[in-house]
Amino acid sequence: MNDGSGPPDENDALIRAAQLRHEREKRGRQDEEPSVARRLAQIGVLGWMIVTPMLIGVFLGNWLDRTFKTGLFWTAPLLLLGLGLGCWSAWKWVKKA
């Protein structure tokens, strides 16, 4: 045990615990996990990345169907095209992040 007059004793349990905590904090700062709010924001962004192209496809298809009086000839394929485009862009975004 150290009496305080010399260098700290490496075998002291309190010193070892402080060093361990310091190392954990340093690793925590380097490998910081995103917060829950950030994760929820990412989920929201992913949702909109998929839904927005689908809605554009529905609106464009509906307009084309009303213009040419074709029933669902344009709406259904453009909806599926929007879904594919949205899923592809979301996948690319997740791979990048």
For the chain, which residues make up each domain, given as ranges?
Answer: 1-32, 35-96
Report field, pTM of the whole predicted structure over 0.85: no
3-class SS string, the chain: CCCCCCCCCCCCHHHHHHHHHHHHHHHHHHCCCCCHHHHHHHHHHHHHHHHHHHHHHHHHHHHHHHHHCCCCCCHHHHHHHHHHHHHHHHHHHHHHC
pLDDT tens for each residue of the chain, 97 residues long: 555 555 566 678 888 999 999 998 888 777 777 888 988 999 999 999 999 999 999 999 999 999 999 999 999 999 999 999 999 999 999 898 7
